[in-house]
Structure 1
Amino acid sequence: MDVDGGRRVFHRIGPSSSTGNGNNNSNKQQKVCFHWRQGKCTRFPCPFLHSELPAVGNGKRAHQGFGAEDNHRGGGGGLRRSGNNYFNKNNTWERVKSQQPAGSNMSVVKKIEKLCNHWVQGSCKFGDNCKYLHQWSTGDCFTLLAPLEGHQQVVTGIALPSGSDKLYTGSQDETVRVWDCQSGQLAGLVNLGGAVGCMLSEGPWVFVGLTNLVKAWNVEISADLSLSGPVGQVYSLVVGSDLLFAGTQEGTILAWKFNAATNSFDPAASLKGHTLAVVTLVVGGNRMYSGSMDHSIRVWSLETLQCIQTLAAHTDVVMSVLCWDQFLLSASLDKTVKVWVATETGSLEATYTHTEEHGLITLCGMHDSEAKPVLLCSCNDNSIRVYDLPSFSERGRIFGKKEVRSIQIGPGGLFFTGDGSGQVRVWKWSAEPTVTL
């Protein structure tokens, strides 16, 4: 790279067409415009090349690799260029040719729906001309209110106990942080000595899944209980039919029943059937649904605590299950969301499959101000797709620094997301929702 008249340009690699007579115009024809390579040249006409390298010698295009540059220098031993994305065959920048009238100096920048990593770090030099997004969301149906900083690792649970003005967030950094909902400030920090696998709030209770243990806190009476029995990490929690269920690393689902007389939880059942970890649980009607790393979904009767059906349509880990109306929705790392409906015999069948470009991590649903159901689908490309149901038409996207593992609906149109970097974000719908799924 040379500096010529204050303009940075790249020398064309390969033999020169100059005859060595010092012709300046010929030299300029051998240079590619640096600004054009960045997609932001505004000069018209530009004295430098706005094209790739032409054919040389035998009609083949001039080689742009690092080895060709070394040969041009006359052999090894010189400094080698490293990290030059302009010559990286795997770079994802797209050059968009301006379709503009002659004499126009306006360039067209086509945005790629992906967050700019340099912008996230506060160091993107391209500004409005950057091909990637410099915003945390697309669409106009929600607004980012505040980031909650403090967790050092992935946020695996978010809980809002009823009757409390506090938000609880748990992380693999072995802490639970308590936030004041009015000020957004940290109100408390609990060091647990183990990674948080999941969280759940039910009434005044907050449950935290740990390794070989479930912690239970009653925020009204300041009760602090430890429920033993799990083997390995607890990945999922749900309450149904007056029972607390926990999905464990070994594939067992444990159940406890609350004892009002002693204000404690007594072991009630152990549900077996999954062969690998149970990572998601949901209750709908008199059924509980469990998704597992064994690629299956099991349907359990809350009356008998027996498995009444196994759903085996997914081909990878079932990361999230959600009940919506008379449907069951399931999301998997196999890049699909499946919609299940009950047949006349009462069994579930997959009637629709929505496919994404990336694996899915978690589902969360709510209704908007017009009572339309909305589905939030977190994918492992660090984004959340927001869809109308049942059409799956996209309303917008939310982006995180890393993949979003936790989504929690709050009151008054609020919802919360927690990503792999440890950041919790507070969002608000542009119109207040009426009902949660």
Structure 2
Amino acid sequence: MDVDGNRRVFQRLGPSNDNKQQKVCFHWRAGKCNRFQCPYLHRELPQPQQSQQYISNAAGTSKRPHGFSDDQHLTRRNPSFSNTSTWGRVHGGGVGGRVVKRAEKVCNYWVQGSCSYGDKCRFLHSWCTCDCFSLLTQLEGHQKVVSGIALPSGSDKLYSGSKDETVRVWDCQSGQCAGVINMGAEVGCMLSEGPWVFVGLPNVVKAWNIQTSTDLSLSGLGGQVYALVVGSDFLFAGIQDGTILVWKFNAASNCFEPAASLKGHTLAVVTLVVGANRLYSGSMDHSIRVWSLETLQCLQTLTEHTSVVMSVLCWDQFLLSCSLDKTIKVWVATESGNLEVTYTHNEEHGLLTLCGMHDSEAKPVLLCSCNDNSVRVYDLPSFSERGKIFAKQEVRSIQIGPGGLFFTGDGTGKVRVWQWLAEPAASSG
């Protein structure tokens, strides 16, 4: 935490050639340093090079809505990997390690446009505390929580769905709303895959092809659709009744044909992700199920969470999951192929969704939405905090865009557009 006047600014300090500054400030680690121009580092020293071998430097965005690159490593453990790896090492390591928490609050008067203190205000005049990305604009129009954001390839339109029963189409150039589609029911989730946009509704999945103007309805479902994902030419839908319905895409007829119904969860399936020829499903029944994409059979049930599993994410050889039990769990495959927890990160609040992306230097970053109306931004695998994003109500949707863009949708109906900033170039002098 650095101080600029009386305004709090979260800042990552760069490396120094001064040997004195190669020591990490003890008081900063405890979250208590109040020295301006502290002579010691307000960041952790880099881990040994061995810890970097697990980091994927692919700069491209994932085809999945909440993932990194197309990861294929969850089937077995890297021989050099151990349970005391680099996860959480920045703050002492070990399962259950905590990141130092910092108290920040957005100025209510600034939000209303009436703060008279200006830069001298002791509260934040910003929706984020990170200096590595900035807010470009916000898209207003939805009347209730934004439950899905989709950015189909080959399109200059952004699609957002809401529990106000509409899908809004936004022009990416002007930021203006280009159309409103009345769905007649609450939107539970959205997904884009190639030219297709999928919308999860009660008892039906709507599918639109923006290139051919094809409009399909996949019906026969048991309640609200909470999650959608595509893998191996299958479309998977997580349903309120605990089933996962599967359709196979038929290229000849350009339609989706029913393929299977996966049963096992006892309550609603609220999150799905595909990686390493597996489907991972998280449920309100507190469990994660691992399914083979080849046989569509359940291979393993993970029961370490103690509340609703809200989001699952693949990164490198790991599966990450978050829950209302206030934890993020990191899973790795054993030699037998089964997943086990290798690290648990604790938060002060329940977690709602995970999104993985790369920053402007192609380093992996994890965005974690919490039910205290904030999004934590962490480096991986250290879980070193980069900053926070704030909203008036909880953020339910996070979507990666091209060129360092990402989008957040919150409970007030706002869609915010963020841009990663290029790191300052090192001085040649």
1:44-63 aligned at under 5 Å gives the runs: none
Considering Cα pairs closer than 8 Å and 6+ residues apart, tell me whether 1 or 2 has the greater RCO.
2
Report the secondary structure of 1:138's partner residue. Answer: coil
Matched, 1:138 2:138: no
Instruction: Spell out, residue by residue over 1:196-255, the C-alpha distance to the aligned partner (whole angstroms, 9 max, x if none).
Output: 000000000000000000000000011111000211100000001100000000100000
Matched, 1:216 2:184: no
Structure 1 counterpart of 2:323, which letter?
S
Alignment partner of 1:363 out of 339, 343, 354: 354
Alignment partner of 1:250 out of 209, 226, 241: 241
Report the secondary structure of 1:387's partner residue. Answer: strand
Alpha-carbon contact 1:112-1:133 (below 8 Å) kept: no
Separation in 2, partners of 1:192, 1:375: 32
Structure 1 counterpart of 2:225, which letter?
V
Alignment partner of 1:166 out of 157, 163, 168: 157
Separation in 2, partners of 1:131, 1:292: 41
Partner of 2:344: 353
Separation in 2, partners of 1:248, 1:141: 37
Partner of 1:191: 182
Partner of 2:289: 298
Structure 2 counterpart of 1:391, which letter?
S
**Which of 1 and 2 has greater Rg?**
1
Deviation at 1:129, TM superposition (A): 5.3
Partner of 1:238: 229
Report the secondary structure of 1:133's partner residue. Answer: coil
Partner of 2:92: none
Matched, 1:390 2:381: yes
Partner of 1:65: none
Deviation at 1:288, TM superposition (A): 0.4
Structure 2 counterpart of 1:332, which letter?
S
Deviation at 1:128, TM superposition (A): 4.7
Structure 2 counterpart of 1:236, which letter?
A
Structure 2 counterpart of 1:306, which letter?
Q
Alpha-carbon contact 2:107-2:125 (below 8 Å) kept: yes
Structure 2 counterpart of 1:288, which letter?
L
Separation in 2, partners of 1:371, 1:129: 35
Structure 2 counterpart of 1:296, which letter?
S
Alignment partner of 2:254 out of 263, 273, 293: 263
Matched, 1:229 2:234: no
Deviation at 1:163, TM superposition (A): 0.7
Deviation at 1:126, TM superposition (A): 5.3
Separation in 2, partners of 1:114, 1:140: 16
Structure 2 counterpart of 1:422, which letter?
G
Cα 1:118–1:230 change in 2 (3 A) is: farther
Report the secondary structure of 1:136's partner residue. Answer: coil
Partner of 1:70: none
Alpha-carbon contact 2:237-2:246 (below 8 Å) kept: yes
Alignment partner of 1:152 out of 143, 159, 170: 143
Deviation at 1:127, TM superposition (A): 4.7
Separation in 1, partners of 2:366, 2:164: 29
Report the secondary structure of 1:115's partner residue. Answer: coil
Structure 1 counterpart of 2:193, which letter?
E
Report the secondary structure of 1:397's partner residue. Answer: strand
Alpha-carbon contact 1:337-1:354 (below 8 Å) kept: yes
Deviation at 1:264, TM superposition (A): 1.4
Report the secondary structure of 2:260's partner residue. Answer: strand
Alpha-carbon contact 2:360-2:404 (below 8 Å) kept: no
Alignment partner of 1:372 out of 363, 378, 392: 363
Separation in 2, partners of 1:112, 1:376: 18
Instruction: Spell out, residue by residue over 1:64-92, the C-alpha distance to the aligned partner (whole angstroms, 9 max, x if none).
Output: xxxxxxxxxxxxxxxxxxxxxxxxxxxxx
Report the secondary structure of 2:110's partner residue. Answer: helix
Q: Percent identity?
A: 80
Q: TM-score, normalised by structure 1?
A: 0.72
Separation in 2, partners of 1:354, 1:112: 19
Cα 1:116–1:224 change in 2 (3 A) is: same
* Equivalent pairs, count: 327
Structure 2 counterpart of 1:347, which letter?
N
Gaps of 5+ in 1: 1-38, 40-97, 100-110, 433-437
Report the secondary structure of 1:132's partner residue. Answer: coil
Instruction: Spell out, residue by residue over 1:1-21, the C-alpha distance to the aligned partner (whole angstroms, 9 max, x if none).
Output: xxxxxxxxxxxxxxxxxxxxx
Report the secondary structure of 1:119's partner residue. Answer: helix
Separation in 2, partners of 1:124, 1:401: 17
Alpha-carbon contact 2:367-2:377 (below 8 Å) kept: yes
Structure 2 counterpart of 1:321, which letter?
V
Alpha-carbon contact 2:312-2:319 (below 8 Å) kept: yes
Q: TM-score, normalised by structure 2?
A: 0.74
Separation in 2, partners of 1:429, 1:358: 26
Matched, 1:206 2:197: yes
Deviation at 1:139, TM superposition (A): 1.7
Separation in 1, partners of 2:274, 2:209: 22
Alpha-carbon contact 2:350-2:371 (below 8 Å) kept: yes
Partner of 1:282: 273
Deviation at 1:123, TM superposition (A): 4.0
Deviation at 1:262, TM superposition (A): 2.0
Matched, 1:182 2:179: no
Separation in 1, partners of 2:392, 2:339: 37
Deviation at 1:131, TM superposition (A): 4.2
Structure 2 counterpart of 1:165, which letter?
D
Structure 2 counterpart of 1:196, which letter?
V
Gaps of 5+ in 2: 1-5, 7-33, 36-101, 424-429
Alpha-carbon contact 1:361-1:379 (below 8 Å) kept: yes
Deviation at 1:396, TM superposition (A): 1.0
Instruction: Spell out, residue by residue over 1:283-323, the C-alpha distance to the aligned partner (whole angstroms, 9 max, x if none).
Output: 00110000000010000000110111001111111000000
